[in-house]
Structure 1
């Protein structure tokens, strides 16, 4: 089968590799769509990070480069390994793409398996990936979805779950005013979750296309260009002078972090959902004087069922966030290049490995 293989920084190759089979406790999936994630771009530009090098593994699989990329994907069950009797061939599924050490408690009551030692991701650290025609995945990480949810939209459930976990971590609730700094895929999807929760959402974003997408998709009530509008003043204007209850940093940009600190009311919550590749110059005095509660959020933990329910119930429509569909051969030229050099023109680009 054909797959996108990560060899090293700026070295991704489309190659033929052996097809996987479903071993005991595994599910074989024909991949329908796989999204290109910002993490994939970081691996291409600055890696290896989560990905292994040719000599050093980064996950419990022990694999070294090359590895197959892709962790935001949907597909159809095409085979079941021994012991898997609660799924059927033909089921539509998405994957919670974790690679964890043996023995980690991943039961329904766990709130921290995503923070376990050596955590990594399918499609980054090894174990196959969604940028391939097929993948075999442990049953624990496979989630069935309604066939009424189109498979292209289902590929966005993984990043939507990142957003859902961030919103839950923030404690945002109906009636709150939330400010989101950065309207890339995670920022927009965070807005969609907040709106489903009943919050009022303000987006700060310099890209006109992404501001329009925030409004047209219903992910935001207000969207402003911070070069033209004082975001903190707008937040106070919309909250009787108090400021927002919660803010989400989704850009890893210093000036955005500073703006959100100003936009929050005293005792507000600042949730960091972006991945920072550098240290921030943080105003600790302002945090102390406003008693800001600053929290981090990474990935998800037992959040997929609730996120899937939001999509299946129609409370969140993922269609507006898909801005491109390409084949595997166009991964670099039309996928990575667009998102790296013209990212203001796109939100989520999907790859169909079987086309």
Structure 2
């Protein structure tokens, strides 16, 4: 079968690899569509971050080169002994978290905080940028009727956004700022709408992405190259927002997020970072602000798909390009590097 494998930064190759075999408790899926995630792009430009190099991942037992792709949908083609949740022919999405099941976080149900956290499609074990893949039964969720495979490929990134809003202190009628209107930032805008935010302010350099944020429900959009974003947010909100979401991974933006919140405000860090960031702790201490991080999601895929059936996180509004697996490097990763107007690029797996 064909698969896109990561060897090192700037080196992803579409190759012929052996097709994986199903095993007890496992599910084989013919992949339909897979999204290129911001995390994938980080691995392409500056990895390794999650990709295991030099030693196998403790859960997948694989190291680079590994098959990429963790935002995907497809059809169950085969099930292993003991599988009861799905059957051949079921249309599914995959929750790609690899978790050990026995560390303190896993025992408390917070499997996304596992000591050995990994991701199918980033940490070995297979991935969605392939003809097919095999995953544990617990990772598979049946799609509701009427949800397309393209829509299914957006469940994973939408889950990140919903988890970020759920774990924040935002209340119905609250105010929020989203710094960065890439795919996750735009999905957070929609998750904030679903959560009942009264005002959603978006800070973004790209004119195309600012326009998309406004289309998706942002109350205001701010170009930080043309005005002081923090000053503007304080003016719009009478002193600062309740919650700011950092979705850029740019060190200077973290400081702006913190400064944009009012006393006792909260900053939620959603980005995965390529390098260190710093801020003056007194900006937190003297206003009793909170800074917290979130990673991935837990126990949320069914709720995200139900929101999709109500019109949230629409693929028609978020997908800007569809490509073949053979073209993933030039038309996918390189396009995202050079063409900042793209929101989400989906990759179609070979028949």
Indicate the TM-score class for this superposition, using the shorter chain for normalisation: over 0.9
Q: Which residues of 2 match residues 129-148 of structure 1 at below 5 A?
A: 129-148=127-146
Aligned to 2:161: 163
Residue 45 of structure 1 aligns to a residue whose secondary structure is helix
Aligned to 2:343: 347
**Conserved? CA contact 1:59–1:119, under 8 Å:** no
Q: Which residues of 2 match residues 295-310 of structure 1 at below 5 A?
A: 295-310=292-307
Residue 168 of structure 1 aligns to a residue whose secondary structure is helix
Residue 188 of structure 2 aligns to a residue whose secondary structure is helix
Q: Which residues of 2 match residues 17-28 of structure 1 at below 5 A?
A: 17-28=17-28
Distance 1:260 1:209 in 2: 22
Give the 4+ runs in structure 1 shifted more than 4 A: 104-107
Distance 1:69 1:188, change over 3 A: same
User: Deviation at 1:115?
Assistant: 1.2
Q: Which residues of 2 match residues 1-355 of structure 1 at below 5 A?
A: 1-53=1-53, 55-101=54-100, 103=102, 110-199=108-197, 200-218=199-217, 220-239=218-237, 241-342=238-339, 344-354=340-350
For structure 1, list consecutive stretches of 5 or more residues without a partner in the other structure. none
User: Deviation at 1:315?
Assistant: 4.0
Distance 1:62 1:134 in 2: 19
User: Deviation at 1:111?
Assistant: 4.1
User: Deviation at 1:56?
Assistant: 1.7
User: Deviation at 1:77?
Assistant: 1.3
**Conserved? CA contact 2:201–2:221, under 8 Å:** yes
**Conserved? CA contact 2:59–2:99, under 8 Å:** yes
User: Deviation at 1:65?
Assistant: 2.2
Encode CA deviations 1:67-93: one digit per residue, 9 max, x unaligned: 111011111111121111232222211
User: Deviation at 1:46?
Assistant: 2.0
Comparing 275-284 with 319-328, greater Cα deviation is found at: 275-284
**Conserved? CA contact 1:235–1:243, under 8 Å:** yes
User: Deviation at 1:112?
Assistant: 1.9
Distance 1:287 1:106, change over 3 A: closer
**Conserved? CA contact 1:111–1:302, under 8 Å:** no
Q: CA RMSD in A?
A: 1.8
Distance 1:50 1:238, change over 3 A: same
Distance 2:46 2:180 in 1: 21
How many residues matched? 350
Distance 1:18 1:156 in 2: 27
**Conserved? CA contact 1:59–1:99, under 8 Å:** no
For structure 2, list consecutive stretches of 5 or more residues without a partner in the other structure. none
Comparing 118-127 with 275-284, greater Cα deviation is found at: 275-284
Encode CA deviations 1:155-195: one digit per residue, 9 max, x unaligned: 01101111111111112122111001111111111111001
